[in-house]
Amino acid sequence: MPLIYVFTGILIGVVMAAPLGPVNLICIRRTLAYSRRNGFTVGMGAALADTIFGGVAAFGLSSAMGLVDRVDGWLGIVGGGILIAVSINLWTKHPHLSDVKDTVRDRLKGAAGAFTLTIMNPMTILGFVALFVALGFQNMGQEPINALAITVGIFLGSSLWWFTITACAGYMKGRLSDDHLLVINRVSAVIVALCGVWALAKNLL
């Protein structure tokens, strides 16, 4: 497996995961409220979605663009609705550090939510397509080994980002109180709601 493509995929994975959006905020909040493991599991849900989209772009760029054209509108509407629901849930929660129960079921539920939010965002696949075109990888699908290498790299890069952000958030965990968590919940809820409203307005108006 050509290492240059693995390393390129790692960079792409980090670039795609890094922008501070709803999933990043949810990951940070869960790390602060529960644990690094909980936050990282949430991030891995997003990493899986990124890997799927990265693989689609790597193995068939033209097919990826056709897919975006067909599902862009309704994915944006569904994704916007999910973001609004998530924001309401965040706003109404009043976290207490002493009451936190970090269970496997809760981690998997968080990972599934992050996967859904990422996979429902058409901008994710568009971002991958733009990066592949910019890097001159339009015909990557003709070289399956290289396409596989870059897809593996994307998963590793995305995972590296989520490990880093949860480690940083975990460092702050012991320095926060219940009041701090409530503020983080409310701020996250507002930002996530704005993202949802933007997605709905963009696809309905």
Amino acid at 85: A
pLDDT of residue 166: 93
Residues in the chain: 205
Q: What is the pLDDT of residue 173?
A: 75
- Relative orientation angle of helices 22-33 and 61-92, to the nearest 10 degrees: 40
pLDDT of residue 193: 82
How many other C-beta atoms are found inside a 10 Å radius of the C-beta of residue 93?
Answer: 14
Phi/psi for 45 (5° steps) reads -65, -45
Q: Token pair of 59, please?
A: 């193995």
Consecutive 10-residue averages of pLDDT for the chain (205 residues): 86 83 83 88 94 85 57 66 76 64 82 88 75 73 84 95 91 73 75 78 75
Q: Can you give the residue ranges of every domain in the chain?
A: 3-78+101-175
Per-residue confidence (pLDDT) for residue 43, from 0 to 100: 94
Q: What is the 3-state secondary structure (H, E, C) of the chain?
A: CCHHHHHHHHHHHHHHHCCCCHHHHHHHHHHHHCCHHHHHHHHHHHHHHHHHHHHHHHHCHHHHHHHHHHHHHHHHHHHHHHHHHHHHHHHHCCCCHHHCCCCHHHHHHHHHHHHHHHHCCHHHHHHHHHHHHHCCCCCHHHCHHHHHHHHHHHHHHHHHHHHHHHHHHHHHHCCCCHHHHHHHHHHHHHHHHHHHHHHHHHHHC
What's the pLDDT at 73? 64
